[in-house]
Amino acid sequence: MSTTELTYEPSVIAGKPSLKQIDESIIKPMNEVPNKKFFIAISFTSTLLLIGAVALGFTFYRGIGLWGNNNPVGWAFDIVNFVFWVGIGHAGTLISAILFLFRQKWRTGIARFAEGMTIFAVMTAALFPAIHTGRPWLDGYLFPYPNQHTMWVNFTSPLLWDVFAVSTYFTVSFVFWYVGLIPDFATMRDRLKVNSTADKIKKKIYGFLSLGWRFSNRHWAHYEMMYLILAGFATPLVLSVHTIVSFDFAVSILPGWHATIFPPYFVAGAVFSGFAMVQNALIIIRKVFDLEYIITLDTLEKMNKIMLLTGTMVGYAYSMEFFIAWYSGHEAESFTFLNRAMGPYAWAYWIMISCNVLSPQFFWFKKLRRSIPFMFVISIFVNIGMWFERFVIVVTSLSRDFLPSSWDYYVPTLTDICILLGSFGLFFTLLLLFTRTMPVVSIAEVKAAIDGSQPTHHSIGHGEDH
Amino acid sequence: MENRILHSVTGLFHSADEITQAAKEVNKAGYKKFDIHTPYPVHGLEKAMKLKRSTLGYIAFILSAIGAISAILLMWWTMSVSYPLNISGKPFFSLPAFVPIMFELAVLTASVVGVVLMLTIFFRFPNHSHPLHDTEYMKAVSSDKYGMVIESDDPQFDIDKAKSFLSSIGATDIGEVYWDNNELTAKKTIFDKKFIFGLVGLAIIVSGGTYWLLNKAMFKEPFNWMMYQQKLSAQSPTTFFKDGFSMREPVEGTVARGYMPYPYPADSAVLAEKYLVNPLEPTVANLNAGKAKFNTFCSPCHDYHGTGQSRLNGQFPNPPSLQSDRVRNWKDGHIFHIITMGQNTMPSYAKTVNETERWQIVLYVRALERAMNAKLEDLK
């Protein structure tokens, strides 16, 4: 590397805040009594959560017969919601790990929040495989452990790969998130002015969570290496997770599921929906917590570009499915796709197409890409569309398979819908609590990314060492 | 306060450029036991401090290899040694299907164990008793200052020299950090009573809780509902239907598979004799099959040779002999009718031996009759 050509991209943080200002504005939400808006928001989300909890309670008491799935649609809302929520999580890992490896500095403002979303989304997603067994207290059998039956799990089943993929994904995301939080907890520990017993307890908690971090550069050197390794592991991991989720379908022989395009198609869809969800949440967060100069409009615009890209990839996958259905010359396959577009679930299919393929196309125009209300609406549409994508894949294929005598029309029950609402309640309640208890933006990373925070190349003297 | 032990002298800098320059200077001055604290990782500082490249990369590689190998050993042992299951005729050791879990466990092991090793071995965390904690210096470097400490156990350490060195390279707020004597004198032993009691208590709670959960709670309401659900138990009535039976009577006129309705009433043996003809030939196979059934079901009363000499020791009236002229003059249909419908004390054997078997028995009875009354030409 030559010495003089070393240039930095323009700052990702608007203005030139001092390091203290960054501390202040990120820590502020944790040190003051939440305002009315927060209480309105959390009472709304916890009401949704309560609705879901009641529906779940009925499910456990009466059994999963309360759900709408039955022959021939044996998989319905449970797996639709599972895939939807796991997909939401993928944006977080993409932002925190893949963009880190690509040295995309604009990720710093949103990485922590997106990682938090990953964890909560995977928690919400993991709920569905856990409850669909009907007797979730026996879910321990999903893991291979020496039990009194001397029986083991079937390691060749994609459903078991799912157990491993999702639990690994959750654990690694959590570790990644926590490693990022350690220096921030230490900053919060030291910034806290102890005036009351509550502050003392707070300080104890932050101190405990920081593990005694001292900002030593002898530590930072290992820390940065570990962060790089974690990012390097998380990148193939996130691709593997949705690939394995898609294997749940692709490894079966049902028309509409048995396709090699599924893994990349699912990964693109996951990133697509995840970015939309991150976008929705960030627009609210930056407004409510005055973080507009850290989560800048430029960052949001870049996210819109990724949504445009992944949305177009998903659109390509939809058309390629149709092409292969025709090209394969397989009658059941062709029928399945015609049935999707024109059969009894055509309404769901066209919701999916218009939300996923058409709506992101507006982002070709710079003006629309930079309009916050517009991108907020589009992001909501994308989330709706991506939920319907999973619904279309799962339900249309199952409701009309090879044998016309067993065809049936699936309708979700009230319990199904309440549990879906509850999953949104769980996710957003956790997210709201997160914004009040932990720094939603990585303090150390933002400090490292602002103008003037890194040495100019003269003082480092790259020429000497390389 | 007099005999507190010095840990280090500290100084603060105000920009990344300054601290990078200072790192080079402190190396030049020959200090070994120094450290630099910055609120965020400053690029190039580890080079200026002349730190070795972190070995965590190699450790992570080894850990991921351990994860992948343990995964494949686990899958090989469970799927092909401990409990081999034939799944769609695939090999017990099917490597391609094992790849996803190998990958997941490699990532899991490397990430989790790697981070734990970094925190505990590399950083010696958790450590809340370091003298730098809760000092003004730490509060500054955790926010917006860049600090340097020169530790007192450096071989060339001298408090005044170190202070003047720090100020010579541009540090401000130069100060001293002392060990907390209580921390230094506190005995750190894992055999601390509190610790041991805590550990034992935790072990009792965890194992007791697990035992209670798995062996007691799982057998209580509502977790045992599946065990006590409505079901049919042998020799006891059920609540499925009012009559206590769980099976229903078949619809009137139902014919069981393999059973043709028998059109002749019990008292019309003459009709049966008239219309029924033995469909079987007296082959060796038929006769042997007939013999087996005869010996099992008929011989207890009729005797192995059909003489009517019962083996029941008078508990049951002896039947008439099958060797009598009367029986010998019957046609096959008559005997078949009696086996099917029963006669006098003899019950129906229709449910015990099926139609073919009945005809085989008839053939065998005919063979017995002929054997007991053999003529000379039979010896040919």
In this predicted model, what pLDDT tens digit does every residue of B130-186 receive, in sequence order?
A: 888 888 888 888 888 899 999 988 888 888 888 889 889 888 888 888 888 777 777
Residues of A in contact with B48 (CB under 8 A): 460
Interface test with B, best of A153, A459, A464, A465 (most B CBs within 10 A): A459
Give the residues across from B35 on adjacent strands. B149
Nearest to A281 by CA among A447, A115, A127: A115
- Token pair belonging to B338: 């009696």
Chain centroid to CA B212: how far? 20
In this predicted model, what pLDDT tens digit does every residue of A121-154 receive, in sequence order?
A: 999 999 999 999 888 888 888 888 888 778 889 8
More confident residue, A448 or B65: B65
Q: Does residue A31 surpass a pLDDT of 90?
A: no
In this predicted model, what pLDDT tens digit does every residue of A357-366 receive, in sequence order?
A: 999 999 999 9
Which range of A367-381, B251-265, B336-350 scores highest in mean pLDDT? It is A367-381
Whether B181 is in a domain gets the answer yes
Domain co-membership, B29 together with B173: yes
B40 DSSP 8-state letter: S
CB atoms within 10 A of CB A304: 26
In this predicted model, what pLDDT tens digit does every residue of A392-437 receive, in sequence order?
A: 999 999 999 888 898 999 999 999 999 999 999 999 999 989 988 8
Percent of chain B with pLDDT over 90: 27
> Can you tell me the mean pLDDT for B274-292?
89
Q: Which of B185, B202, B232 is the last residue of a domain?
A: B185
Give the residues across from B11 on adjacent strands. B148
Using CA atoms, how far residue B175 sits from B137, B154, B164, in Å, is 8, 17, 11
pLDDT of residue B192: 80
Cα separation, B215 vs B40, in Å, equals 51
Going from N- to C-terminal start, the domains of chain A cover 19-465
Task: Measure CB to CB from residue A460 to each of B43, B103, B122 and give the nearest one.
Answer: B43
Using CA atoms, how far residue B73 sits from A155, A237, A412, B93, B202, in Å, is 12, 21, 43, 11, 33
Q: b/e for A178-207, b at 16 or more Cβ within 10 A?
A: bbbbbbbbbbbbbbbeeeeeeeeebbeebb
Q: Does residue B187 surpass a pLDDT of 80?
A: no
- Token pair belonging to B209: 């809780």
Residue indicated by tokens 């010696």: B124
pLDDT of residue A463: 41
> Can you tell me the mean pLDDT for A348-360?
94
Residues of A in contact with B39 (CB under 8 A): 19, 183, 187, 215, 443-444, 447
Sheet holding B146-151: strands in order across? B34-37, B146-151, B6-13, B172-178
Q: How far is B37 from chain A (nearest CA, A)?
A: 4
Q: Give pTM, 2 decimals.
A: 0.81
- Homologous superfamily of A19-465: Formate dehydrogenase/DMSO reductase domain (1.20.1630.10)
Task: Measure CB to CB from residue B78 to each of A152, A443, A453 and give the nearest one.
Answer: A152
Confidence of residue A440 (pLDDT cuts 50, 70, 90): confident
| Average confidence score pLDDT of chain B | 87
Chain centroid to CA A457: how far? 37
In the three-class reduction of DSSP (H, G, I as helix; E, B as strand; rest coil), residue B11 is classed as strand
Residue A416 dihedral angles phi and psi, to the nearest 5°: -55, -50
Cis peptide before B126 (omega within 30 of 0): yes
| Average confidence score pLDDT of chain A | 88
User: With contact defined as beta carbons under 8 Å apart, do A184 and A442 qualify?
Assistant: yes
pLDDT of residue A5: 38
Q: Does residue A120 surpass a pLDDT of 90?
A: yes
Q: Which of B185, B219, B247 is the last residue of a domain?
A: B185
Lowest-confidence segment of A229-243, B69-83, B135-149, B219-233 by average pLDDT: B219-233
pLDDT of residue A113: 87
Domain co-membership, B180 together with B292: no
- Token pair belonging to A147: 């039990």
> Counting beta carbons within 10 angstroms of the beta carbon of residue A34, is it exposed (0 to 12), middle (13 to 18) or buried (19 or more)?
middle
Whether B200 is in a domain gets the answer no
Number of domains in chain B: 2
Whether B258 is in a domain gets the answer no
Q: Which of B139, B165, B185 is the last residue of a domain?
A: B185
Q: How far is B182 from chain A (nearest CA, A)?
A: 18
Whether B211 is in a domain gets the answer no
Confidence of residue A13 (pLDDT cuts 50, 70, 90): low
In this predicted model, what pLDDT tens digit does every residue of A65-99 receive, in sequence order?
A: 899 988 889 889 999 999 999 999 988 888 888 88
Chain centroid to CA A339: how far? 31
pLDDT of residue A458: 55
Q: Does residue B54 surpass a pLDDT of 50?
A: yes
In this predicted model, what pLDDT tens digit does every residue of A182-214 receive, in sequence order?
A: 999 999 888 888 888 888 998 899 999 999 899
Question: Nearest residue on chain B to A460, judged by CA atoms?
Answer: B44
pLDDT of residue A288: 79
Task: Measure CB to CB from residue A171 to each of B40, B90, B108 and give the nearest one.
Answer: B108
- Token pair belonging to B111: 């990430």
Cα separation, B196 vs B191, in Å, equals 6
Question: Nearest residue on chain B to A206, judged by CA atoms?
Answer: B128
> Could you tell me how many helices (H) and strands (E) chain B has, helices first?
14, 4
Domain co-membership, B42 together with B156: yes
Domain co-membership, B278 together with B145: no
Whether B71 is in a domain gets the answer yes
User: With contact defined as beta carbons under 8 Å apart, do B339 and B347 qualify?
Assistant: no
Cis peptide before A72 (omega within 30 of 0): yes
pLDDT of residue A37: 83
Crossing angle (nearest 10°) for helices A262-288 and A77-93: 70
Q: Considering just the CA atoms, what is the radius of gyration of chain B in Å?
A: 49
Task: Measure CB to CB from residue B37 to each of A165, A175, A214 and give the nearest one.
Answer: A214
Cα separation, A343 vs A337, in Å, equals 9
Q: b/e for B166-187, b at 16 or more Cβ within 10 A?
A: beebebeebbbbebbeeeeeee
Confidence of residue A109 (pLDDT cuts 50, 70, 90): confident
Confidence of residue A15 (pLDDT cuts 50, 70, 90): low
Cα separation, A165 vs A193, in Å, equals 43
Domain co-membership, B280 together with B179: no
Domain hosting residue B21, numbered range: 6-185
Whether B359 is in a domain gets the answer yes
pLDDT of residue B313: 80
Q: Strand B34-37 vs strand B146-151: parallel, antiparallel, or unpaired?
A: antiparallel
The answer to whether B104 contacts A187, with C-beta atoms less than 8 Å apart, is: no
Percent of chain A with pLDDT over 70: 94
Residues of B in contact with A152 (CB under 8 A): 78-79, 82-83
More confident residue, B146 or A2: B146
> Counting beta carbons within 10 angstroms of the beta carbon of residue B190, is it exposed (0 to 12), middle (13 to 18) or buried (19 or more)?
exposed
CB atoms within 10 A of CB A360: 29
Percent of chain B with pLDDT over 70: 98
B322 DSSP 8-state letter: T
Domain co-membership, B32 together with B156: yes
Instruction: Please provide the distance, in angstroms rounded to a whole number, between the alpha carbons at the two ends of chain B.
Output: 132
Whether B249 is in a domain gets the answer no
Whether B337 is in a domain gets the answer yes
In this predicted model, what pLDDT tens digit does every residue of A308-342 receive, in sequence order?
A: 999 999 999 999 999 999 999 988 899 999 999 99
CA dihedral B38, B42, B46, B48 (to 10 degrees): -100
Residues of A in contact with B35 (CB under 8 A): 216-218
